[in-house]
Amino acid sequence: MGKSHNHISTIIGLFCVVLWYGTANSASLEDELRGVVAIRGRLQAVLQDVEVAIPAREPNWMLLQVFYKDRKGRAVWHEGEQLNAQGETLLTLLDSALTEGLEPVDYHFPRLKASRPQLGPSGVLERELLLTDAFFRYAGDLRGGRVKAAELDPLWHFDFDRAEPMELLQAALSADGLSDLLSDLAPGALEYKRLRQVLYDYHEIESRGGWKPFPAVQILRPGDRHPSILLLRERLRIEGDYPEPPADGDDYFNPPLEAAVRRFQQRHGLDVDGRVGPKTRAALNVSVGHRIAQIKANMERWRWLPHSLEERYLLVNTAGFEVTMRDQGAEVFHRRTVGGKLERETPSFKSRITHLVLNPQWTVPRRIAVEDLLPKQLRDDNFFDSKGIAVFRKGEEGGWIQEDAAAIDWSLYHKNDFPFVLRQMPGPRNSLGQIKFHMVSPYAVFLHDTPAKGLFERPTRPFSSGCVRVESASLLATQLLQGESEQATTLALQEGIDSGQTMIWRLKQPIPVYLAYFSAWANEDGIPQFRADVYGLDAPLIQALAAGGNKLPSLSVAGLPVSSDSMTR
């Protein structure tokens, strides 16, 4: 690489020495190191000037110190005084951070962009260090998220070992795979890539001025004439729901406009009735800026998940109330779900379906027994019998003995005194339906069928006690059994159900299940979908991202302190 590169390496090496060992005791070294320390001071001043009021922009000197000491001062992003191919690639990635829902300013891009072609050794050193620090930040944000999930979402219970950015970079350099790493930083899930396109589209809408607020008027119905219909048609055209050019002076609610309203309602999880009432009007009045923030928040949730998902998996969207199964990228099953009610939200976690239970028996969790079922039994002496619920009490010898529900004076019992276990027997009234998809879960949450099919017709479906009810559960079971064995056929499944007997079918290939909260996504056709924030989890995440994401702690490295003021200004 020549003498110039060696000179740069020497400067970087001296940078590491001064940070690692502190103030030099040797007078002969003091003059040589003074220039390197001055570069650091100048770099701090420049960053504070360029990125004023942006928190946590101070480079992570400790991490840089460790990284370059391990590399013995060798540069990563430069050949001589010029950026190498990887340096140019990284600079391009930082420039396009907006496409990932991130901000280039968070990764020193204004300063890097302002770098002069001929920098000289000190300028190259500055750019080398900024690029490495930018990589650490950028890779960390894409591979683990800008904010900590556990601090913002009490329902998020994923636990994955995440590679540290420095370890990623070190491993890539050791394997001569830096170019591959740079091209693979963002999440690989198809769902994330679709959201990235949606974000681009909504930035384009924003650049063209977004849309105007829709006025509070009477309910608009097909066949109506009203001046606001002109605005409605234009509003729907902007997001692509109304594909035809608006007709000047046309205030008539015609069939094409009704179809556009129905498309909009479907995309937003509303009652699809073709009328513009209060809920549809409220969705129309969500600003494009808020939609962009919502998209970014959901992209962040994808960054909280593993970088790559398995080839075959189930994704339960607990905000969208739907479940999707993918096999090698293809969607092979997609149906509606019913999820946890507001006081018993379905948590976000990963598990595996290990076996199917046909005609399951349901042992009622104590909370549901005392809070939901006992009050109904108190109001109706025949409730337990009508639902096929058997009552058990522990006998003197320790075993459970079935008792006659009608012979018990239920008024004597309450949630703090309930010595019974309730079990619902298999049958058409069983709350788990005909199929239970067994999952190992510390939250007692699993997927299952349901006899209450009508709830799937509701636009928003938070009605369960935390478990996930699946529409067309037998079709999902058939999909899971494909390739299991010659005996595991659709006919055999139906015969097992029709027998009325409880049967367990173990899967030779347990399938991963991800339950996660996504209020914005794109469907198989790439059409944006938005849902109400039913569990109130979007607002704190949007606020945290707007506030700057993760903050770095104040550092004091080798006698060169970094003040807290410079970290937060």
- The DSSP annotation for 426-461 comes to SSTT-TTTTEEEEE--TT---EE--S-GGGGGSSS-
Query: φ, ψ for residue 401 (rounded to 5)?
Result: -115, 130
What is the rounded distance in angstroms from the CA atom of residue 139 to the CA atom of residue 155?
25
Q: Of 58, 50, 57, 118, which Cα lies nearest the Cα of 82?
A: 118
Burial class (CB in 10 A: 0-12, 13-18, 19+), 41: exposed
Residue closest to 418 by CA, chosen among 465, 384, 464, 367: 367
Query: Residue 219, CB half-sphere, CA atoms under 13 Å: how many?
Result: 7
Residue entry with tokens 């809920």? 279
Give the residue among 171, 172, 194 at the shortest CA–CA distance from 183: 172
> Is there a contact between 61 and 69 (Cβ–Cβ < 8 Å)?
no
In angstroms, the CA 221 to CA 277 distance is 9
Strand partners, 330: 327
Contact 422, 402 (CB under 8 A): no
Total length of the chain: 569
Secondary structure (3-state) at 560: strand
Q: What per-residue confidence (pLDDT) applies to 27?
A: 39
- The amino acid at residue 548 is G
Nearest residue to 341 via CA among 458, 473, 438: 458
Joined together, the tokens standing for residue 242 give 């109304």
Is residue 151 within 8 A of residue 61, CB to CB? The reply is no
d(CA 316, CA 311) in angstroms, rounded, equals 16
- What would you measure as the largest C-alpha separation in the chain, in angstroms? 97
Residue 370 is which amino acid? Answer: V
pLDDT by residue for the chain (569 residues), tens digit each? 444 444 445 445 545 444 443 333 433 434 434 444 444 555 445 444 444 333 346 788 888 888 988 888 888 999 888 899 999 999 999 999 999 999 999 999 988 887 666 677 778 888 899 999 999 999 999 999 999 898 889 999 998 767 789 999 999 998 888 889 988 999 999 999 999 999 999 999 999 999 999 998 889 999 999 999 999 999 999 999 998 776 656 899 999 999 999 999 999 999 999 999 999 999 999 999 999 999 999 999 999 999 989 999 999 999 999 999 999 999 999 999 999 999 999 999 999 999 999 999 999 999 999 999 999 999 999 999 999 999 999 888 778 899 999 999 999 999 999 999 999 999 989 999 999 999 999 999 999 999 999 999 999 999 999 999 999 999 999 999 987 776 677 888 999 999 999 999 999 999 999 999 999 999 999 999 999 999 999 999 999 999 875 433 322 222 222 222 322 22
* DSSP 8-class letter at 100: G
Q: Are 111 and 73 in contact (CB under 8 A)?
A: no
Q: Cβ(502)–Cβ(426) under 8 Å?
A: yes
pLDDT confidence of residue 153: 93
pLDDT in the model for residue 563: 27
Alpha-carbon torsion, ordered 113, 90, 545, 516, to 10 deg: 160
| Two structure tokens written together for 222 | 């097909």
Whether 324 contacts 331, CB under 8 Å: yes
**Any idea where the domains of the chain sit in the sequence?**
2-185+549-568, 211-286, 310-361+426-516, 367-425
CA distance 313 to 513: 6
Domain 310-361+426-516 fold is L,D-transpeptidase catalytic domain-like (2.40.440)
Phi, psi at residue 280, to the nearest 5°? Answer: -65, -40
Structure tokens at 316: 């339960």
CATH superfamily for domain 211-286: PGBD-like superfamily/PGBD (1.10.101.10)
Q: How far apart are CA 178 and CA 497, in angstroms?
A: 54
d(CA 247, CA 512): 50
Asked if 242 and 250 touch (Cβ cutoff 8 Å), the reply is no
Burial classification of residue 402, based on how many CB atoms lie within 10 Å of its CB (0-12 exposed, 13-18 middle, 19 or more buried): exposed
Question: For residue 61, what pLDDT is reported?
Answer: 84
**Which residues have a Cβ under 8 Å from the Cβ of 14 and sit 6 or more positions away?**
32, 33, 36, 73
Q: Is 100 in contact with 75 (CB distance < 8 Å)?
A: no
b/e 433-449 (16+ beta carbons within 10 angstroms → b): bbbbbbbebebebbbbb
Residue 515, pLDDT score: 98
The pair of three-digit structure tokens given for residue 372, joined into one six-digit string: 């939901």
- Report how far residue 342's alpha carbon sits from residue 318's, in angstroms, rounded to the nearest whole number: 12
Beta-carbon neighbour count of residue 157 at 10 Å? 16
SS3 category, 515: strand
Q: Please give the pLDDT value at position 460.
A: 95
